[in-house]
Amino acid sequence: MGFQEQLSELRSDIGAELARRGLELGAIRLNTKDPFQWASGYRMPIYNDNRTYLQDPHARNQIALGFSQILDILSCEPNWIAGTATAGIPHATTLADLRKLPLCYVRGSAKGHGLQQAIEGLGRADSFQQDTVVLIEDLISTGGSSLRAVEALRSAGAQVPCCLSVFSYGLDAAEEAFGALEEPCRAIPILLYEDLIALAADLGYIDGEDAEALGEWRKDPFGWGEKRGFPRNQ
């Protein structure tokens, strides 16, 4: 079985379970009639907060298991696991514990005091010495924060072949951003947007009209709200 077939199988199993539990817990919310305002000011019909999974030990374990299985599918044996601050840290921690690997996390920006490090946990070595580091994100939207973390790790001497996430919106902006990297880094989520929407429809969380509107959002996420009378709040 090839890489894509194995990944598809994982997503139909663990990905579907996380989607179902995320909808139950409110980690994933869908509303096309009264869209959510993102930090950017845009009104969007989906809001994702993977921190909500933290209350469920089984969900936390499934996330770690999903990441571990992706590493096996990739035949990737990292020396380190790195989490993005702050939402990626708990999932990186459970994965590092499962794989019995060193753990670090990447700040959004370097500290302005002390050692002024951007990466916590690296210690006295101050360099990964070309070790392989897998980056863990909770969510990939446009990919900007993930790529800053990748670059921070690489600046510290790491090889970063992939960035694994619990969920991805699958936006073109993220694909283009990762594709523009001079040294490749694969962005691989456990749960895909299109799989989530299909399951939400099957479970009755959304109707056919909602599913169509959510499909249109994927085509034009930053123009979607304006077209429906929900202008950006700047």
234 within domain boundaries: no
CB atoms within 10 A of CB 78: 23
pLDDT digits (tens, 9 = 90+) for 160-178: 999 999 999 999 999 999 9
Tally the domains of the chain. 1
133 within domain boundaries: yes
pLDDT digits (tens, 9 = 90+) for 9-26: 999 999 999 999 999 999
pLDDT band for 116, please (50, 70, 90 cuts): low
* Preceding omega of 84 cis (within 30 degrees of 0): no
Q: What is the pLDDT of residue 111?
A: 46
pLDDT digits (tens, 9 = 90+) for 38-49: 999 999 999 999
233 within domain boundaries: no
Domain extent at residue 150: 3-227
16 within domain boundaries: yes
Q: Which of the two residues, 32 and 2, has the higher pLDDT score?
A: 32
Q: What's the 3-state SS for 92-103?
A: HHHHHHHHCCCE
pLDDT band for 115, please (50, 70, 90 cuts): very low
174 within domain boundaries: yes
232 within domain boundaries: no
0.85 exceeded by pTM: yes
Contact 167, 137 (CB under 8 A): no
What is the C-alpha separation between 30 and 190, in angstroms, rounded? 19
pLDDT digits (tens, 9 = 90+) for 60-93: 999 999 999 999 999 999 999 999 999 999 999 9
223 within domain boundaries: yes
Beta strands 162-168 and 133-140 are parallel
Q: What is the pLDDT of residue 91?
A: 98
Q: What is the CATH number of the domain that holds 173?
A: 3.40.50.2020
Checking if the pLDDT of 108 tops 80, the result is no
Q: What is the pLDDT of residue 112?
A: 41
Contact 95, 136 (CB under 8 A): yes
| Arithmetic mean of pLDDT over the chain | 94
Identity of the residue numbered 3 = F
Q: What is the pLDDT of residue 109?
A: 61
DSSP-assigned letters across all residues of 107-158? -SS--SSTT--SEES-GGG-S-TT-BEEEEEEEESSSHHHHHHHHHHHHTT-
What is the C-alpha separation between 120 and 110, in angstroms, rounded? 10
154 within domain boundaries: yes
